[in-house]
Amino acid sequence: MEKYLVIAGLLIVGAIGVPKYLDGRIDASETGAQVAKAPEPEATGKPVRKVSANPLDGRKARVEMDDRGHFVAQARMNGIKSEVLVDTGATYVAINETTARKLGIHLKEADFKYKVRTANGITMAASAIIDEIEIDRVRVTDVQASVSRDSALGVTLLGMSFLKKLKKFEIGNNELLLTQ
C-alpha cells in the first residue's frame, strides 16, 4: 500500500511540475531568446563592479529514480549518513527509534502519545525535531519529524516537513530535483 501512495504522490508532483518546465522551454524557443554578451570591462573603461553571490544560489540536489520507481537519496541527518526514501504522501519526515537515537534524539515511553496512520496501519509515534538534514548542497534546519517504533517503520521517509522548506521540488527525466 505504501508503494502505491508514494507512486501516486510522485505522479501528482510530476503532473504539476512537468508542464511548468515545458512551458518555460517552449516560451524561450518560440521567442528565439538570445543572450547578449556584455562588453568587456576594460573595453568600456568603466571599473569592474563585483557582484556578491547569494550563498543559496546553486543549492540543488538531484535524486535519480530507482528500478522500483522510488527516489532514494543519501542524506546526512544531524551529521549522520542515512538513506532516505522521498515520500510526498508523508506529512513529516518519519524515522524509527533506532535512527532517532543515532541522531541524538532521546525519547521516553510517554513521548509516544500520537496515533498515526501509516501504510501498515495505526501506530503510536512521538514528535521530534531533526536539527539539520542535508542532501548534496541542499541543507534544511529544524525539520519536524515523527518517530515510530522500530517494528512499525523500517525505512526513513523524507516527507513534506522537509520538502515544503525548499524553494521547489520537481520530477522530470526520471529524477527528482530539489532546489533551495
Q: What is the pLDDT of residues 72-87, one digit of tens each?
A: 999 999 999 999 999 9
pTM of the complete model: 0.68
In this predicted model, what pLDDT tens digit does every residue of 75-129 receive, in sequence order?
999 999 999 999 999 999 999 999 999 999 999 999 999 998 887 789 999 999 9
Give how far Cα 40 sits from Cα of 33, 36, 49, 53, 100, Å.
Answer: 22, 12, 12, 20, 55
